[in-house]
Amino acid sequence: MSLNPAVTRRRAIQWFLVPVVAVTLALGWKYPVFGFVVPVVMLTGFVGGLFNGRYVCGNLCPRGSFFDRVIAPLSFRKTIPMFMRRMPLRWTILAAMTGFMIWRISQNPGDWRHWGKTFWMMCVITTTIGVVLGILFHPRMWCAFCPMGTMQNALGGNKRQLLIDAAKCKKCYACEKACPIRLAIVQDKDGGRLTSRDCLKCPECIAACPAKALSWPQKTG
Angle at 143 between CA 65 and CA 209, to 5 degrees: 70
Of the ranges 6-14, 17-25, 84-92, 200-208, which one interacts with ligand SF4 (CB under 6 A)? 200-208
Which one among 214, 218, 220, 221 touches ligand SF4, defined by CB under 6 A?
Answer: 214
Total residues binding ligand SF4 (CB under 6 A): 29
Stretch that binds ligand SF4, among 4-12, 21-29, 107-115, 192-200 (CB under 6 A): 192-200
Return the range that interacts with ligand SF4 (CB under 6 A); candidates 35-43, 91-99, 147-155, 195-203. Answer: 195-203
Surface-to-core class of residue 203, CB atoms within 10 Å of its CB (0-12 exposed, 13-18 middle, 19+ buried): buried
Q: Which residue(s) pair with 163 in the sheet?
A: 193, 215
Nearer to ligand SF4, 25 or 213 (CB): 213
Using CA atoms, how far apart are residues 181 and 214, in angstroms rounded to an integer?
A: 17
3-state SS assignment for residue 58: helix
The beta-strand segments (E) located in 110-202 are 163-164
**What x/- string results for residues 143 through 182 when contact with ligand SF4 is judged by CB under 6 A?**
-------------------x-x----xxxxxxx--xxxx-
Residue 202 sits in the site that holds ligand SF4 (CB under 6 A): yes
Give yes or no for residue 80 binding ligand SF4 (CB under 6 A).
Answer: no
Beta bridge partners of 214: 164
Candidate segments 36-44, 84-92, 147-155, 197-205, binder of ligand SF4 by CB under 6 A: 197-205
Q: Taking Cα atoms as reference points, which of 202, 217, 210, 166 lies closest to residue 56?
A: 202
